[in-house]
Every structure is written in C-alpha cells, then in structure tokens.
C-alpha cells in the first residue's frame, strides 16, 4: 500500500509580528557565575536568540553586549526588546564570522563570549521555518533564510548513501539506511509533514521519541553546518577574549559537547586557557521540570590566560 502523505498546505502560518518571545534561557545563573561579569566589561552573546542571556549579562553589570544571531527574525525581536538600551548592539551575523564582525562593531576585545547552541523555542514553534515535525511547514531549517541551501535541497537531491551518512553522522540514527531508502523512493519531499510521515513509515512501531526526531536534528545540523560553525566560532572567541576573559558554551548534544571539550583541552595544553569546568555543568531537577530543553544542556567554560 502506498504512503498516504499529508497534502501540502501553503501558505504556512507564522506567529503574528511582534509576538512576545517564548524561549526560556537555560543555566542562566551558572553562565553568569562562570563568566564573572565585571562592571566595565564588554561581552559577546554569540547566540542571542530571544535575549535571555543578554539580559542576564546586563543585570550582572555588563557595560556592553554584542548580541549576535544568524536569524534575522531573532535580531528584529532583539531590537524591539533592547530598543532603548545603548549597552546592547543586536547584529545579524553568523558566529563563525566573529573575528570580523566583533571589531566591525567596536568590540576589539571581549571579557566574555557565550554560546547557547542550537535553536530557540521561537524558531521551533514557527511553522514557516520548517524546524519542527510537529507542524506542517516548508523544508527550510536555515537559521538565516537568506543564506545557504534549505533542507528541501538535501532531502530531494542527495544520493541515497550520502543521505544515510548524513542521518548517521549528525543524528546518530541507527536506522539511517532504511530511512534514506524510503525518502529516496518517495521523493519529492514537499513539506515537513510529508518528511515526518515518510520517516515514520520507514521505522514503524512504538518508540520513546518521535521517529523523525533524529532525522530533523541531522538535517538542521547539516543545513546550518553547525559543527563547522562551532569550531570556527570557538577559535574566534579564543582569539577575541581579553586576558582573564571567559568563553562559556551550552551544548545540547554529544557532537557539539565533544568539540567544545576537545577545543578547551587543546587550549589548556597550549597554555592559553584554564578549564573552569572539569566535567560539564547540568541543570538541576527544578530547572528541568520548569524547562524541558534544559534536560540535555551541558555547560563548559574556560578562562583565557594568555595576553595576545
Ligand atoms: C538556544 S537559542 C539561544 C537562546 C538565547 N540564549 C536566549 O536566551 O534567548 C540559539 C540561537 O542561536 C542562533 N544560532 C545558531 N547557530 C548560530 C550561528 N552559527 N551564528 C549565530 N547564531 C546562531 C539561533 O538562530 C538561535 O536563535
């Protein structure tokens, strides 16, 4: 029997303009603690999103914050939220370009750079962005919709072995081969709902998480080259940080956390940084109960020791 795929239903709904952000920041107190925010300090929030960590930096006394996000919608909301605050500079940019972007906005040095990786609840909840298998939407998934190839290109044009490898590498998907085969048989994938239904049919039966979870995560990571951006962004943060400056990173899955751990170790071995978190800090039970996103968050921080 053929797959009864849901019909394509554009235009996809978008939250009303000016809707308040719903993203709840994670591990805020720990990030601020490890960053040791000082009153004259300049800070970079490399993933400003809805502005929760930026606000916490300001509340802790930061003199100024460069609030970056790759997503133009997020930056528009940041401009609204911090409208009258001369301490905040919201800028639309990818943190992989931090080495160029920070000095261009008057940040030649930073006393701290924080990264809160992945996507925000505001992005996940916006069907028009295509991040979620829970809503029908276009297969986009780009943090910056003006840059790079949308997920649609990958799912409809990658050869089957490459698609399987992508799902395996970025999603740790054990059934990558079956899923890739089914996607290729059922092409074209026209929307998130069509893709989610196709994956579900490829791996039937009861599962702990929605069967399309890993496929969507893998595609998002590939579309945005998230691991490549993280590697470049960490190096830029290292080079931008003032002596005694901090780099703090919240990661949400093992690939990201491994990159952070290895970069910090390499800095420590080279004598340019001291690792402040022997093992990653996790959210406590109360935070996880209040905010499900916090359950997989891992926070690592380093203190830069070298004068550049
Ligand atoms: C988890 S959210 C950050 C939430 C934020 N800390 C807050 O308190 O609202 C991650 C944000 O990082 C952005 N992002 C992801 N990768 C990026 C990159 N390479 N460069 C810039 N922003 C990025 C996403 O667009 C998203 O808004």
Q: Could you give all domains of the chain from N- to C-terminal order, each with its CATH number?
A: 28-121+227-304 (3.40.50.150), 144-223 (1.10.150.170)
CB of 67 closer than 6 angstroms to any ligand 1 atom = no
The alpha carbon of 160 and the centre of ligand 1 are apart by a number of angstroms equal to: 31
d(CA 291, CA 253): 17
Q: Residue 306: its pLDDT value, please?
A: 75
Q: Residue 2: its pLDDT value, please?
A: 43
The alpha carbon of 119 and the centre of ligand 1 are apart by a number of angstroms equal to: 6
- Phi first, then psi, for residue 105 (nearest 5°) are -110, 20
CB of 68 closer than 6 angstroms to any ligand 1 atom = yes
Compute the CA torsion angle 25, 28, 32, 35 (nearest 10 deg).
-70
CB of 116 closer than 6 angstroms to any ligand 1 atom = yes
pLDDT one-digit tens code per residue, 151-201:
999 999 999 999 999 999 999 999 999 999 999 999 999 999 999 999 999
Q: Residue 1: its pLDDT value, please?
A: 39
CA-nearest residue, atom 24 of ligand 1: 119
Q: Which has the closest alpha carbon to 143: 122, 164, 166?
A: 122
d(CA 73, CA 284): 31
The alpha carbon of 70 and the centre of ligand 1 are apart by a number of angstroms equal to: 7
| DSSP string of 93-144, one letter each residue | --GGGHHHHHHHTT-SSEEEEEEE-S--HHHHT-GGG---SSS---S---SS
Q: Residue 16: its pLDDT value, please?
A: 57
Compute the CA torsion angle 170, 32, 238, 304 (nearest 10 deg).
-130
List, in sequence order, the alpha helices (H) in 160-297. Answer: 160-171, 176-185, 192-202, 213-223, 226-240, 254-270, 285-290
Structure tokens at 246: 């901090």
Say if CB 51 and CB 85 are below 8 A apart: no
Residue at token pair 């809160």: 116
Select from 28, 43, 49 the residue to mutate for testing ligand 1; criterion: most ligand atoms less than 8 Å from CB: 49
The 3-state DSSP class for residue 172 equals coil
The 3-state DSSP class for residue 158 equals coil
How many C-beta atoms surround the C-beta of residue 4 within 10 A?
8
Q: Residue 9: its pLDDT value, please?
A: 45
CB of 221 closer than 6 angstroms to any ligand 1 atom = no
Biggest alpha carbon–alpha carbon distance for the chain: 67
Q: Residue 228: its pLDDT value, please?
A: 98
Q: What is the crossing angle of helices 254-270 and 226-240, to 10°? A: 30
Structure tokens at 95: 């943190």
Atom of ligand 1 nearest to the CA of 53: 8
Chain-centroid distance of CA 178 in Å reads: 27
Structure tokens at 236: 């830029």
Atom of ligand 1 nearest to the CA of 25: 8
CB of 95 closer than 6 angstroms to any ligand 1 atom = yes
- Write down how long the chain is: 308
Cα dist from 167 to 91, 181, 213, 254, whole Å: 32, 12, 11, 15
Select from 29, 47, 256, 298 the residue to mutate for testing ligand 1; criterion: most ligand atoms less than 8 Å from CB: 47
Q: Residue 14: its pLDDT value, please?
A: 64
Per-residue burial over 77-111, b if 16 or more Cβ lie within 10 Å, else e, is: bbeebbeeeeebbbbbbbbbbbeebbeeeebeebb
Cα dist from 282 to 28, 249, 290, whole Å: 11, 12, 14
d(CA 83, CA 201): 48
Structure tokens at 56: 């916490």
CB of 143 closer than 6 angstroms to any ligand 1 atom = yes
Low-confidence ranges of the chain (pLDDT < 50): 1-9
């Amino acid at each position: 029997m053929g797959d009864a795929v849901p019909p394509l239903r554009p235009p996809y709904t978008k939250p009303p303009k000016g809707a308040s952000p719903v993203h709840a920041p994670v591990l805020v107190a720990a990030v601020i603690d490890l960053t040791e925010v000082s009153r004259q300090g300049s800070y970079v929030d490399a993933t400003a999103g809805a502005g929760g960590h930026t606000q916490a930096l300001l509340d802790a006394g930061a003199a100024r914050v460069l609030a970056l996000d790759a997503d133009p919608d997020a930056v528009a909301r940041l401009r609204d939220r911090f409208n009258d605050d001369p301490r905040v500079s919201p800028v639309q940019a990818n943190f992989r370009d931090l080495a160029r972007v920070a000095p261009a906005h008057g940040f030649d040095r930073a006393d701290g750079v924080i990264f809160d990786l992945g996507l925000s609840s505001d992005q996940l909840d916006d069907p028009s962005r295509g991040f979620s298998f829970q809503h029908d939407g276009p297969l986009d998934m780009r943090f910056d919709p003006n840059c790079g190839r949308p997920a649609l290109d990958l799912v409809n044009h990658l050869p089957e072995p490459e698609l399987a490898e992508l799902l395996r590498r970025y999603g740790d998907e054990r059934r990558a081969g079956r899923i890739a085969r089914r996607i290729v048989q059922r092409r074209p994938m026209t929307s998130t709902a069509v893709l989610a239904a196709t994956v579900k049919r490829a791996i039937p039966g009861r599962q702990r998480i929605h069967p399309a979870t890993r496929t969507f995560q893998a595609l998002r990571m590939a579309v945005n080259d998230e691991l490549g951006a993280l590697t470049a962004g960490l190096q830029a943060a290292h080079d931008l940080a003032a002596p005694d400056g901090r780099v703090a990173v919240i990661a949400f899955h093992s690939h990201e956390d491994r990159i952070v751990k290895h970069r910090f170790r390499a800095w420590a071995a080279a004598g340019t940084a001291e690792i402040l978190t022997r093992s990653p800090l996790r959210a406590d039970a109360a935070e996880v109960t209040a905010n499900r996103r916090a359950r997989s968050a891992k926070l690592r921080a380093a203190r830069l020791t070298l004068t550049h």
